[in-house]
Homo-oligomer: A and B are copies of this chain.
Amino acid sequence: MTDQAPDKRTQLTGRLREARKLAGLSQGQVAKLLGLHRPSVSEMEAGNRRVSSEELSQLAGLYDVSVAWLVGEVADTLDAADPKLQLAARELSKLKPEDLERLLKLLAAMRDDAPDTKGA
């Protein structure tokens, strides 16, 4: 028990759960897809279990997120600035072009309607 830096671990566990739910998957589904058991996934998200690098890659693929975001690493790209942006953009890529166009207009409307928060 030489827990010296639980920050990263907590971040990972939180994001594992968040990404899973956003992907619309249950722990059981994930377990079956990764060839694991339900309790394993449960304790992974609880932080009571390690997540190997292989599992990390598989989870990232399943949830359509990057391993960098899962482990809380900051890259210098656009997606890294806002964690959820990558996920959202990923979803956008699956839309039909016409839907994407519509969504872009909607986004512009939302932004124009409520400008605020941070500048720059």
Chain A contact residues, CB within 8 Å of chain B: 2, 4-5, 8-9, 12, 22-24, 35, 50-54, 56-57, 60-62, 66-68, 70-73, 75-79, 81-82, 84-97, 99-100, 103-104, 107-108, 110-112, 114, 116-117, 120
Question: What residues of chain B lie closer than 8 Å to A77, measured between beta carbons?
Answer: 66, 75-76, 78-79, 86, 90
**Is the pair B57, A8 in contact by a Cβ cutoff of 8 Å?**
yes
Inter-chain CA distance A48–B91, complex, in Å, is 37
Whole-angstrom distance from the CB of A14 to the nearest CB of chain B? 13
A sample of 5 more A-B contacts (CB under 8 A), given A52-B52, A95-B111, is A2-B35, A12-B54, A53-B53, A61-B120, A84-B100
